[in-house]
Amino acid sequence: YPPERVRNFSIIAHVDHGKSTLADRLLELTGTIQKGHGQPQYLDKLQVERERGITVKAQTATMFYRHTTASLDSDAPRYLLNLIDTPGHVDFSYEVSRSLAACQGALLVVDAAQGVQAQTIANFYLAFESNLSIIPVINKIDQPTADPDNVKDQLKRLFDIDPSEALLTSAKTGKGLEQVLPAVIERIPSPPGKCDSPVRMLLLDSYYDEYKGVICHVAVVDGALRKGDKIASASTGRAYEVLDVGIMHPELTPTGVLYTGQVGYVISGMRSTKEARIGDTLHQAKSTVEPLPGFKPAKHMVFSGLYPADGSDFEALSHAIEKLTCNDASVSVTKETSNALGMGFRCGFLGLLHMDVFHQRLEQEYGAQVISTIPTVPYIFEYGDGSKVQVENPAALASNPGKRVVACWEPTVIATIIIPSEYVGPVIMLCSERRGEQLEYTFIDAQRALLKYRLPLKEIIVDFYNELKGITSGYATFDYEDSEYQQSDLVKMDILLNGQPVDAMATIVHNQKAQRVGRELVEKLKKFIESLSAMRKNVLAKCYGGDITRKKKLLEKQKEGKKRMKRVGSVDIPQEAFHELLKVS
């Protein structure tokens, strides 16, 4: 397949607008997967993705398609199409921009009933800034409330997209799907690149497979890559031999070669994914090539301590974290020690959902029992002597530093919120309660308003989204992008248990909120500890007679429960307390 017969494209959409379903239909349409293969959403492979119905890790698949312009043209040329699936959630926009770097076009999927939502806007701009050809797809036209004309008006008003360009589809009934791949071929340019130059490719993703070792997903920009070739990494200089090369069709399918413009996989004897830096350029060994523009490195905006629920499990947790970060290089990990929780790790995440997903994967895929501390953001404190520190762990900030704090800064975000207009009042109240500053208030159609706010990141990482959904009956959609640091009146808050500070519960809060947050935290904590001792007393109360096995079982259960607790001072704190406490701070 010469580059003219290759198309690389992505599907971008607001969460739940039908991106994964559409991807499945396209894979079926081209015979890449069997119809009704039992597992819906082929590209959502991780267990958490299936459970939560969200895409976390972008996956890629290659399809072959015969493009017939006239109706029955058996000599019609075949095309090789690379579909790069992208996550829809805000936390993973890093993965989105990574996927877009290998594409020349994108299908912008919008739900015909819900219309343009917050992530539609964010994803549109990511694609637009990458100079991609954008094909608008108005999906779910089978729904009774579908209003494709209104969506066309929104696309025109917000993105200046000509209404005649929009494709109308239902990924559920199959209506309109036959227009999608012809539009991909006709409207998206083929990949640029020099066929007869030495090979140069972009490393899109990498993961570790127990049997095959490190598998890299690559986009070949120039030249061709063959089995047996010697390649080198532009960032480390290390050289490798290509042991296997092929396409994802949709499983790994060896082809022995990848040509200019193609997307596929390479196995080259790398020992660990640390050698496979995402965004790196791989090139023909011993040739000097210009590295491709890489990706922006992932920014860690939410930090939390992760500790084994049972102190003796430190090694197990350490092993699980190492394995998992092999496949999710966007998490940063450093060791830390807490006097309350023992040895553990401080991890940096792209956002709150990213943290939740990581936590859930640790438990589900590695059976790790984890206690996580209250999430925090990277603050900056400046002292009287001119020195500055970035604080990723509030406990590490000395309560009495001995030098005067002259200024504090916190990261902010620009949030976009789209809501039916009747909810504007409560949303404005919520945002100002969260210390937001209004930047924009417009209407995107007769019923929907768009609000833009600058908000401190800390205010949105804890329960903002749930509250927003709650006060708008689930209608609000929300997205944010990182913005600058702003100066703020921040204080460190310690929680004392029996007179002793619990370092794992230390937080940094805004001065004006310290009183209220502190009160709420302590009241919650008290309730937990009380209900816990009541439960402990009761454990055998329901056990009549002398059934010793039943008694044993209950005591076993209690022991299990105890494992998930931490003794601080002279008080046991249940793991759940840490989880629950995050919700008020």
Other C-beta atoms closer than 10 Å to the C-beta of 512 total 11
List 42's β-bridge partners, or say none.
none
Backbone dihedral angles phi then psi of residue 320, each to the nearest 5 degrees: -60, -45
Smallest separation (angstroms) from ligand GTP to the CB of 462: 22
506 to 277, 459, 463, 503, 509: CA distances (angstroms): 35, 16, 18, 5, 10
Query: Which of 2, 53, 269, 367 is in the footprint of ligand GTP by CB under 6 A?
Result: 53
Does the protein bind ligand GTP through residue 102 (CB under 6 A)? no
Q: What track of x and - describes contact with ligand GTP for positions 55 through 74 (by CB under 6 A)?
A: x-------------------
Residue 365 burial (CB < 10 Å; 0-12/13-18/19+)?
Answer: middle
H-type alpha helices, 30-117: 47-52, 93-100
Out of 142, 310, 356, 580, point to the residue binding ligand GTP (CB under 6 A): 142
Q: Which of 20/376 has CB closer to ligand GTP?
A: 20
Confirm if 83 and 60 have CB atoms less than 8 A apart.
yes
Q: How many residues bind ligand GTP (CB under 6 A)?
A: 19
To ligand GTP, the closest distance from the beta carbon of 91 in angstroms equals: 12
Query: Is 139 annotated among the ligand-binding residues?
Result: yes
Q: How many residues does the chain have?
A: 585
- Residue 416 assigned to a binding site: no
Closest CA to 566 of 397, 393, 377, 369: 369
Interaction between residue 107 and ligand GTP (CB under 6 A): no
What is the spatial distance between Cα 226 and Cα 405, in angstroms, rounded to a whole number?
Answer: 59
Minimum Å gap between C-beta 144 and ligand GTP is 9
Minimum Å distance from CB 564 to ligand GTP? 31
Mapped to the 3 state alphabet, what secondary structure does 287-307 carry?
Answer: CCCCCCCCCCCCCCCEEEEEE
For residues 88 and 123, give the distance between their C-alpha atoms in angstroms, rounded to a whole number: 8
Q: Which stretch binds ligand GTP (CB under 6 A): 17-25, 125-133, 154-162, 198-206?
A: 17-25
Is residue 140 part of the contact set for ligand GTP (CB under 6 A)?
yes
Q: Per rule CB under 6 A, is residue 120 in the interface with ligand GTP?
A: no
- What number of other Cβ atoms are within 10 A of residue 233's Cβ? 21
- Check whether 458 is labelled as a binding-site residue: no
Question: Is the separation of the CB atoms in 468 and 476 below 8 Å?
Answer: yes
Is residue 585 part of the contact set for ligand GTP (CB under 6 A)?
no
Shortest CB 108 distance to ligand GTP, Å: 12
User: 104, 170, 412, 472: which one contacts ligand GTP (CB under 6 A)?
Assistant: 170
Question: Least CB distance from residue 178 to ligand GTP, whole Å?
Answer: 14
Residue 143 makes contact with ligand GTP by CB under 6 A: yes
Burial grade of 216 (CB within 10 A; 0-12, 13-18, 19 or more): buried
Is 461 among the residues that bind ligand GTP (CB under 6 A)? Answer: no
Of these, 3, 10, 12, 19, which contacts ligand GTP (CB under 6 A)? 19
Stretch that binds ligand GTP, among 15-23, 29-37, 233-241, 252-260 (CB under 6 A): 15-23
- If the CB atoms of residues 418 and 521 are measured against ligand GTP, the closer one turns out to be 418
Residue 113 known to bind ligand: no
Contact 214, 206 (CB under 8 A): yes
Say how many C-beta atoms besides its own lie within 10 A of residue 300's C-beta: 18
147 binding ligand GTP? (CB under 6 A): no
Span near ligand GTP by CB under 6 A; candidates 130-138, 168-176, 254-262, 503-511: 168-176
146: three-class secondary structure by DSSP:
coil
- The residues, ordered by sequence, that sit 6+ positions from 177 with a Cβ below 8 Å of its Cβ are 22, 25, 26, 29, 169, 170, 171
- 87 annotated among ligand-binding-site residues: yes
Looking at the Cβ atoms of 16 and 467, the one nearer to ligand GTP is 16
Residue ranges at the known binding site for GTP: 13-20, 85-89, 139-142
Query: Binding residues for ligand GTP, per CB under 6 A?
Result: 13, 15-21, 53-55, 88, 139-140, 142-143, 170-172
Residue ranges at the known binding site: 13-20, 85-89, 139-142
